[in-house]
């Protein structure tokens, strides 16, 4: 049976831990210039309906380092952009390629694509989930803290795809998470209910950013208006007043806390320049680790690593 990577809720704690172990091995191999071409001679389609920097570059480089050929496909220049049924594209792509990554809007798009695909499909981002990014975030935490367990995590900002995936991760992996979101900008209700039924850890939500970050080990945030929400920018700027990660807010966390941001950042809005450039920022390690985590996911799904 073909295995996909569409959301963290499809995986067990043991399986995610196994991906972290493989990520560590692949990152070490790269640093030592040891070949790790698990996908030698294969082809991986990279389908983009949303623009990207980190997702495109990290996947293209990762596919090449694994020995495969990356195929960048923009929906605007393909038949998908002209309304070809998703199931038709999925079945054809599986005849040409050994795996597919999709960065798109609706979660239902990647799920339908995977339903009709005979090869693994990876969610590079949807409006509901961003699983590759959270895996990179948690791997970064492990590098800096030695573990992800037993730490207090804080999310400050919009209840978006990042927040939803953090909620899933907390429920599956068993760590405490507090989210600070303004009224009307809470995480997805179905995701929240699923996590509350499953979690053995504390997953809570508040409107108070200070409450969320107090004594936190890890603080994470994202832009206030994600792609497709640009028309809401002005009203969101009003709603999110007080939700900026600045020096005063970060000072409420533990002295050795680490700050994460998936990028791109709107400096001066959700995070200040002094914080993202400061000693607590792990943003650049986090960005690099997208490459290593995604290589592990592809190697496991497409190469049998």
Q: Give the active site residue among 98, 127, 188, 222.
A: 222
Q: Is 133 annotated as belonging to a binding site? A: yes
* Known catalytic membership, residue 133: yes
Q: Is 51 annotated as belonging to a binding site? A: no
3-state secondary structure of 148: coil
* Known catalytic membership, residue 236: no
Please choose, from the candidates 261, 286, 254, the residue with its C-alpha nearest in 3D space to the C-alpha of residue 275. Answer: 261
Q: Give the active site residue among 133, 137, 188, 257.
A: 133
* Known catalytic membership, residue 91: no
Q: Is 132 annotated as belonging to a binding site? A: yes
Return the exposure string of 18-41: e unless at least 16 CB atoms fall within 10 Å of the residue's CB, then b: ebbebbebbbeebeeeeebebbee
Q: Is 215 annotated as belonging to a binding site? A: no
* Known catalytic membership, residue 103: yes
Q: Is 30 annotated as belonging to a binding site? A: no
Q: Is 115 annotated as belonging to a binding site? A: no
Q: Give the active site residue among 4, 36, 56, 103.
A: 103
Q: Is 55 annotated as belonging to a binding site? A: yes
Q: Is 263 annotated as belonging to a binding site? A: yes
Q: Is 130 annotated as belonging to a binding site? A: yes
- Give the Cα separation of 79 and 86 in Å (integer): 10
Structure tokens at 24: 């560590």
Q: Is 138 annotated as belonging to a binding site? A: no
DSSP per-residue string spanning 240-269: TTT--B-HHHHTTS-TT-EEEE-S---BTT
* Known catalytic membership, residue 36: no
Q: Which helix (H) or strand (E) element contains residue 93?
A: helix 86-96
Q: Give the active site residue among 290, 292, 294, 300.
A: 290
* Known catalytic membership, residue 266: no
User: Peptide bond before 264: cis, by omega within 30 degrees of 0?
Assistant: yes
Q: Is 226 annotated as belonging to a binding site? A: yes
Please choose, from the candidates 44, 48, 50, the residue with its C-alpha nearest in 3D space to the C-alpha of residue 71. Answer: 44
Q: Give the active site residue among 56, 130, 236, 261.
A: 130
Q: Give the active site residue among 97, 244, 257, 262.
A: 262
Q: Is 53 annotated as belonging to a binding site? A: yes
- Give the Cα separation of 178 and 304 in Å (integer): 36
CA–CA distances in Å: residue 155 to residues 46, 75, 99: 29, 32, 32
Q: Is 103 annotated as belonging to a binding site? A: yes
Q: Which residues are annotated as part of the binding site?
A: 52-55, 79, 103, 130-133, 161, 222, 226-227, 262-263, 290
Q: Which residues are annotated as part of the binding site for carbamoyl phosphate?
A: 52-55, 79, 103, 130-133, 262-263, 290
Q: Which residues are annotated as part of the binding site for L-ornithine?
A: 161, 222, 226-227
Active site residues: 103, 130, 133, 222, 262, 290
């Amino acid at each position: 049976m073909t295995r996909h990577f569409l959301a963290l809720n499809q995986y067990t704690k043991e399986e995610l831990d196994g991906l972290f172990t493989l990520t560590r091995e692949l990152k070490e191999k790269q640093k030592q210039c040891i070949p790790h071409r698990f996908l030698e001679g294969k082809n991986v389609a990279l389908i983009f309906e949303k623009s990207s920097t980190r997702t495109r570059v990290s996947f293209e480089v990762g596919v090449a380092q694994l020995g495969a050929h990356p195929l960048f496909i923009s929906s605007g220049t393909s038949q998908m952009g002209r309304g070809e049924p998703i199931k038709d594209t999925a079945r054809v792509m599986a005849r040409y390629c050994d795996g597919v990554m999709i960065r798109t809007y609706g979660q239902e798009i990647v799920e339908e694509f995977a339903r009709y695909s005979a090869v693994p499909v990876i969610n590079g981002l949807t409006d509901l989930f961003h699983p590759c990014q959270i895996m990179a975030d948690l791997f970064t935490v492990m590098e800096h803290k030695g573990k992800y367990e037993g730490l207090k995590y804080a999310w400050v900002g919009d209840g978006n795809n990042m927040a939803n995936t953090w909620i899933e991760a907390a429920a599956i992996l068993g760590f405490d998470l507090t989210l600070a979101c303004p009224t009307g900008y809470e995480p997805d209700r179905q995701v929240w209910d699923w996590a509350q039924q499953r979690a053995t850890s504390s997953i809570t939500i508040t409107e108070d950013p200070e409450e969320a970050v107090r004594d936190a080990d890890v603080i994470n945030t994202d832009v206030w208006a994600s792609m497709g929400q640009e028309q809401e920018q002005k009203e969101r700027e009003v709603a999110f007043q007080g939700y900026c990660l600045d020096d005063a807010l970060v000072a409420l966390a533990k002295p050795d806390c680490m700050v994460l941001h998936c990028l791109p950042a709107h400096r001066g809005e959700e995070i200040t320049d002094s914080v993202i450039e400061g000693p607590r920022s792990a943003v650049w390690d986090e960005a690099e680790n997208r490459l290593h985590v995604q290589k592990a996911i592809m190697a496991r799904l497409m190469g049998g690593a």
